[in-house]
Amino acid sequence: MKISIIVPVYNEKENLDIFLEELQFSFTKQEVEKEVIFIDDGSTDGSTKIIKKLTESDPSVKAIIFKINHGQTAAMSAGIKFATGDIIIPMDADLQNDPADIWPLVDKLNEGYDLVSGWRKNRKDKFISRRLPSILANKLISYVTDVNLHDYGCTIKAYKKNIIDDVNLYGEMHRFIPIYIKQLGGKITEIVVNHRERKYGKSKYGIGRVSRVMLDLLVVKFLNNYITKPIHFFGGAGVLSFLLGMASFTIALVLKFSGYASLNRTPLPLIGVFFSLIGFQLILMGLLAEIIMRNYFESNNKTTYLIKEKLNL
């Protein structure tokens, strides 16, 4: 058995040496082959220099250096592509994931699962800006997708390489990997993992990501349910839009015949219809663009990232 540790990095220079030291220590009593793949996602704080130094001292430590910042999903996608292990374990480089949790994840995976997800039950983050949005998002994602996990955003997970190779990642879809694996017939579960406070550096996450998560969730739901029958989705949206228009017109008639206002003095129904139609058009255009983008990348075998340098790979 070989384990590949995938570590996306963006401006984490204070944490990298400590991270690798803790990770190496967690493997000292394990007779398991491993590789550690750092993906430098366009860091500007000197992380690249430290990563290069770490690869020079240990051939099992490898690195992919991006030309520019592409985001965590692209970093994970690159790491998975170049990983040679039977088991893939992504981890954050900010020291909040505990390397000691690798072995409970692997043990659970060996019980016959394709994915074991970490659950930061006692999360050490600010409640309003981090934990509350996460709780609400996790409940919504579980409800919409019918894949019930407590913590989609927890980076540390254990995957079987043979099934995650079939998952194509775009945008910021890394948090939805469990949904894709379930769609492929994979068996998933979760276990509680340790979560530690950030000591160095600044978090790249915040409440501003909530809207992007919701849009990505819409894309996942659409692709899972309607990709082979888009008329069901677009037709449904068209009917709903038509009903909104009829409701708006009905309100205008009620206002007119009840004597409250004449049609030419009541712009609200028309404004409501206008914005409803524009909103639906924008959403549908976004979904069409998503399909076109995916077909472009897959048919041309293109990646969503640009690699500047590979070390020990």
Q: Whole-angstrom Cα distance, residue 154 to residue 196?
A: 12
pLDDT at 234: 65
**Cα(248)–Cα(250) distance, rounded to whole angstroms?**
5
For residue 83, is pLDDT > 90? yes
The more confident residue out of 72 and 285 is 72
Rounded Cα distance between 167 and 178, Å, is 10
Angstrom distances, CA of residue 290 to CA of 129, 219, 231, 284, 312: 29, 8, 16, 10, 35
Third-level CATH fold of 2-207+306-311? Spore Coat Polysaccharide Biosynthesis Protein SpsA; Chain A (3.90.550)
For the chain, the average pLDDT equals: 85
Q: Lowest mean pLDDT of 58-62, 76-80, 136-140, name the range.
A: 136-140
pLDDT digits (tens, 9 = 90+) for 135-168: 888 898 888 888 999 999 899 999 999 999 988 8
Looking at the predicted structure, is the pLDDT value of residue 177 above 80?
Answer: yes
Residue 111: helix, strand or coil by DSSP?
coil
Task: Give the model's pLDDT for residue 245.
Answer: 76
Residue 228's pLDDT is what? 54
Beta carbons within 8 Å of 75's beta carbon, 6+ residues apart: 8, 9, 10, 39, 41, 64, 66, 305
Q: What is each CA distance from 81 to 100, 143, 150, 164, in whole angstroms?
A: 25, 31, 27, 10
Provide the residue ranges of all domains of the chain, joining segments of one domain with +: 2-207+306-311, 225-299
pLDDT at 51: 98
- End-to-end, the C-alpha distance of the chain in Å comes to 19
pLDDT by residue (tens digit) across 270-296?
777 777 787 777 777 777 767 776 776
Q: Do the Cβ atoms of 178 and 154 come closer than 8 Å?
A: no
pLDDT for 101: 97
Q: What is the mean pLDDT of residues 20-40?
A: 95
Looking at residue 164, what is its pLDDT?
93
Give mean pLDDT, residues 71-79.
Answer: 93
In this prediction, residue 263 carries a pLDDT of: 62
